Amino acid sequence: MSTYTQILYHIVFSTKGRAPVLVATEREAMFRYIWGIIRFRDCHLYRVNGTLDHIHILIRLHPTQALSNLIREIKVSSSNWIKTNRIFTEFSGWQAGYGAFTHSEKDKERLILYIKNQEQHHKALSFGEELRNLLNEAGIQFDEKYLLK
């Protein structure tokens, strides 16, 4: 029998200490690099975008991939690439954790638009508020002290 899956993930993670270092003029190059990692792992990228201190990624996860391994590879490889190429001069790394939320196919277009409009969205909402909302919407219990790291 073949393997059939439909695993759509909305992934969110921040810079270390939520440092506002991901300047807009260089983000597109980083997003292309991340897309290459995702494509190499046979996953499908629907959208990647972010702001000064965090990024959002919407992917379809290939059934041979473990989410934690993929995110670790994205974070380690992109961090090394950023530092080697001196893309964001104040970048010191990514936060230790991440948020990953599963969604159905019917949510895909709404999520693509949501991720596409991050700059506008964050004129009214901080990343901390956004993350709290995402966790609450997903029904995930969390300790407030870990959201600050």
Average pLDDT in the 17-37 region?
Answer: 96
Q: How far apart are CA 74 and CA 35, in angstroms?
A: 9
Report which DSSP code applies to 94: B
Where do the structural domains in the chain lie, given as residue ranges? 8-141
Q: In what order do the strands lie in the sheet with 44-50?
A: 44-50, 54-60, 8-14, 99-103
In the structure encoding, which two tokens stand for residue 143, read together? 């300790």
Q: What is the pLDDT of residues 82-124, one digit of tens each?
A: 999 999 999 999 999 999 999 999 999 999 999 999 888 788 8
Q: How far apart are CA 149 and CA 23, in angstroms?
A: 21
Report which DSSP code applies to 60: E
**Could you give the count of Cα atoms lying within 13 Å of 145 in the half-sphere of its Cβ?**
0
Instruction: Please state, for a pLDDT cut of 70, what percent of the chain lies above it.
Output: 98
pLDDT at 74 over 80: yes
Q: What is the predicted pLDDT for the residue at 111? A: 96
CATH number for the region 8-141 comes to 3.30.70.1290
Q: Residue holding tokens 């002290």?
A: 145
